[in-house]
Structure 1
Amino acid sequence: MSAMSNSNFSRRSLFRAAAGMAAAGTLAACGSNNGRGGSGGSGKQLTQMFHAYGEAGTEQAIKRYAAAYKKANVSTQWITSADYESKLFATLLTKQAPDLFEFHPQIQMVKSGQVADLTDIIDPVKSDFNPADIKSHTVDGKIYGVRMIDDPQFFFYRPSLFKKAGVKVPETFDELMEAAAKLTTDKVKGLYLGNDLHAVVNPLIWSAGADTLNDKNEIAYHTPGFVEGLKKMRQLFTSGHLLLGAPTDFWDPSSLSQGLCAIQFCGMWAMPQFQKALGDDIGIFPFPKVTDAGKPSVVNGGWSMFVNAKGDNVDAAKEYVKWLWIDQKQYQEDWATSYGFHIPPRTSIANEATKLKSGLPAEGVKLSNQYGHFDNIGWTQAMIQGTWDVMANCVRKNGDPEKALDACDKTVNRELKKLFG
């Protein structure tokens, strides 16, 4: 599920707002509408915070699930602002802090005592979760956060336009650049990667045969392959074949479905919208390998539910999370497949999800299984911002990749030292 289309910001990727961890003082209060005092249930008042998903019916679904819960009044803050992260982290510092909230697993939330240990509610069903989702939420053997949906991201394209231009599905980044050139006309750009290029930073790293961090939590992105990838991205950026300044960002399918481009980086959540707009004239492929040593990659983004460990209602919030995101399988499947397509993190639900069994969704699942990279809990906001800066300096501006990566290394090493000593 994508963000609201008034946002120029990726909601679905692994790349989060750097402002997220900053205590944006001016945003501290959510205004008078703090969403407390929902209907249904009795006794305890719980507040949950969600970013506004773009697909119709999502807000109603989350509120419908909450209304069915009888042990507490659960109200929902549905944050339409593009600043979901900065709003969330600013609000967590105030008395208006939500009892539970959705976000991505990040180790600083664990180290700062912001999120509650959910091992006791997840352990009984742990073997039913995708092991990669468990790993990405685990610190020192304890599990923080329940994954709600997995969101693979890849390239969507129009086979009819490929046929017309005599283009085959790219298997390398060079072929992607050639395809973008052949598909560009006076009305259509060959390729769209999102307005700020943030969504493709990690795929560029992975497809160059590198990684964000290695198993020892050391820098693994600063390689000759990634440098080569940055140079190729710069070439693409200046080629005239890349759609720049689109009306909506990468997570919204409009750029491709309305004919502004022939290939668009986007997420599996948008498949129903693509199919509605384009019928059978839609295909997908992973981010192609950047170097000979690299291999194709797929971002496996997604959202997880966390309990605010500093709130007044930790036990009640955990009980609600268990009820909804562990026990209520029908709601979990509804959330994953009725409003956009996502892969349910629970194997038992994924196996039963008929909408993902055939056609394009099944291909998306296959690409995710074959080439997917999940969240790394040690890859923090500041590190993410560091790689965004690299992209800005080397691709948007013509900076030296080695110098930009050296600057990024300083930021990342400072963070690593803070977190791991």
Structure 2
Amino acid sequence: MPAPNSSTWNRRSLLRAALGVTAGGALAACGSNNGRAGGGSGKGLVQYFHAYGEPGTEQAIRRYAKAYQGANVTTQWITGADFESKLFATLLTDNAPDLFEFHPQIQLVKSGQVADLTDIVAPVKDDFNAADIASHTVDGKIYGVRMLDDPQFFFYRKSMLEKAGVGVPQTLDELIEAAAKLTTGKVKGLFLGNDLHAVINPLIWSAGADTLDDNNRIAYHTDGVVEGLKKMRTLFTSGSLLLGAPADYWDPSAISQGLTAIQFCGMWAMPQLQQALGDDLGVFPFPKVTDAGKPSVYNGGWSMFVNAKGKNVDAAKEYVKWLWIDQKRYQEDWALSYGFHIPPRTSIAASAGKLKSGLAAEGVKLFNDFGHFDRIGWTQAMIKATEDVFADCVRKGGDPEAALDRCDKAVNTELKKLFG
């Protein structure tokens, strides 16, 4: 998930706020989208993008659209913290976009808000990362086309670890110990983001658990996760965790400006960090929490969806096929020219020279060895429930079992709505 250009914007807020206007789990019916027609009508399509932080991204998206001959494609480039609220509010109006980027969310499918794209994806399905296909599939139909895969892991300053006599942490206990040894008067040992939400799922995975299982049942309420929550509380109260940084975890400035020795961030920031720190930079996954667990890497990213309730569904699908299926040179440009992202198309990823050596190759290996993808059934309400667990147990010192019991109740309510 490439960094936005607002230091106040929490990257995970989009996923957490998905369908926030529909607490019941379904979007209201969308009206006509202002009579816009596609293709041969001479009118055009409107697409919504959030404002990526890397220079050149807006110009690239507009350049791709201008090159398309099938319709006049207009881009709404939405800055600041308003993307999710504007998108989902606008989907309820006559001015709804024809296509938009977001993350896979099952409510979008069950409400009929997004179009089935199986027909355009199926011919190249085997050239996509299989996990990306799975995370966009409901009842055998594919909704959305992945544009970027964004692994998230820890960056660390090699010189700081060497000076403190600290090795690369292999367990959460070692990470806590390292953070303490790396903390000095001016530098905190570790930065996980200001609200800690970015590491909730990695903690679950590294404890040997999951959010849901393959049958959409709770999989996070385990002894390993309880142990992880207790360890996170120890870390939170240790004084070695950077809190209240000027920008959140998605922005690499905390480590590049010397505020911390280790920062959780994303591969998108790698070129910027290499420019600032040179070779004084390493990466490692979220370490295992328990002996039964193993390291994990969260794969974020963005996907393109077609508004199924608009008037230009066929024209929008044609544009999505042209850009995100047929135009491999644009897909490679989008993934590699404005930050480092892994192309979801395996053929493009395999030929991506920028990812074949050095730190980038290490990041790709972490992604391949330890990567986890969002489950389409893991909804905004469920994400909020786990955030409440962190707020209770990690920040306030509450009992993990009691907090997870409350989380179970909220998640099961959502599961019943969605799956019966």
Equivalent positions of 1:3-82 (< 5 A) are 3-11=3-11, 13=12, 16-18=15-17, 20-22=19-21, 43-82=42-81
Classify the secondary structure of the residue corresponding to 1:201: helix
Deviates further, 287-296 or 398-407: 398-407
Q: Distance in 1 between matches of 2:415 and 2:385?
A: 13
Q: Match for residue 198 of structure 2?
A: 199
Give yes or no for the alignment of 1:375 onto 2:344. Answer: no
Name the CA shift for 1:41/1:239 in 2 (closer, same or farther; >3 Å).
farther
1:97-121, CA deviations, whole angstroms, 9 ceiling, x for partnerless residues?
Answer: 1110001111111000000000000
Q: Distance in 2 between matches of 1:228 and 1:8?
A: 32
Q: Match for residue 330 of structure 2?
A: 331
Deviation (angstroms), 1:35: 13
Contact 1:3 1:10 in 2 (8 A): no
1:58-91, CA deviations, whole angstroms, 9 ceiling, x for partnerless residues?
Answer: 0110011001111111111111121322221111
TM-score w.r.t. length of structure 1? 0.94
Q: Match for residue 399 of structure 2?
A: 400
Classify the secondary structure of the residue corresponding to 2:15: coil
Equivalent positions of 1:116-265 (< 5 A) are 116-265=115-264
Contact 2:5 2:80 in 1 (8 A): no
Deviation (angstroms), 1:406: 1.1
Amino acid at match of 2:125: K
Amino acid at match of 2:339: G
Name the CA shift for 1:419/1:23 in 2 (closer, same or farther; >3 Å).
closer
Q: Match for residue 2 of structure 1?
A: 2
Q: Distance in 2 between matches of 1:415 and 1:201?
A: 19
Classify the secondary structure of the residue corresponding to 1:362: helix
Contact 2:49 2:75 in 1 (8 A): yes
Deviation (angstroms), 1:17: 2.7
Q: Match for residue 28 of structure 1?
A: none
Contact 1:271 1:340 in 2 (8 A): yes
Name the CA shift for 1:104/1:270 in 2 (closer, same or farther; >3 Å).
same
Q: Distance in 1 between matches of 2:21 and 2:283?
A: 37
Deviation (angstroms), 1:5: 4.0
Q: Match for residue 387 of structure 1?
A: 386
Contact 1:284 1:364 in 2 (8 A): yes
Unmatched 5+ residue regions in structure 2? 24-32
Deviation (angstroms), 1:6: 2.2
TM-score w.r.t. length of structure 2? 0.94
Deviation (angstroms), 1:44: 3.2
Q: Distance in 2 between matches of 1:305 and 1:7?
A: 24
Contact 2:9 2:80 in 1 (8 A): no
Unmatched 5+ residue regions in structure 1? 25-33
Q: Distance in 2 between matches of 1:154 and 1:400?
A: 28
Amino acid at match of 2:306: V
Amino acid at match of 2:197: H
CA RMSD of aligned residues (A): 2.0
Contact 1:18 1:384 in 2 (8 A): no
Q: Distance in 1 between matches of 2:162 and 2:368?
A: 28
Contact 1:158 1:282 in 2 (8 A): yes
Amino acid at match of 2:91: L
Quick one: percent identity of the two aligned structures? 78
Q: Distance in 2 between matches of 1:8 and 1:242?
A: 19
Contact 1:150 1:303 in 2 (8 A): yes
Amino acid at match of 1:133: D
Amino acid at match of 2:48: M
Q: Distance in 2 between matches of 1:256 and 1:416?
A: 39
Contact 1:44 1:71 in 2 (8 A): no
Count of residues paired in the alignment: 410
Q: Distance in 2 between matches of 1:325 and 1:19?
A: 22
Q: Distance in 1 between matches of 2:40 and 2:388?
A: 47
Amino acid at match of 2:332: E
Amino acid at match of 1:198: H
Equivalent positions of 1:80-119 (< 5 A) are 80-119=79-118
1:5-24, CA deviations, whole angstroms, 9 ceiling, x for partnerless residues?
Answer: 4243432x597233642259
Classify the secondary structure of the residue corresponding to 1:393: helix
Deviates further, 238-247 or 401-410: 401-410
Q: Distance in 2 between matches of 1:415 and 1:47?
A: 32
Contact 1:14 1:199 in 2 (8 A): no
Amino acid at match of 1:8: T
Name the CA shift for 1:19/1:144 in 2 (closer, same or farther; >3 Å).
closer
Q: Distance in 2 between matches of 1:233 and 1:396?
A: 9
Deviation (angstroms), 1:50: 0.7
Amino acid at match of 1:402: E
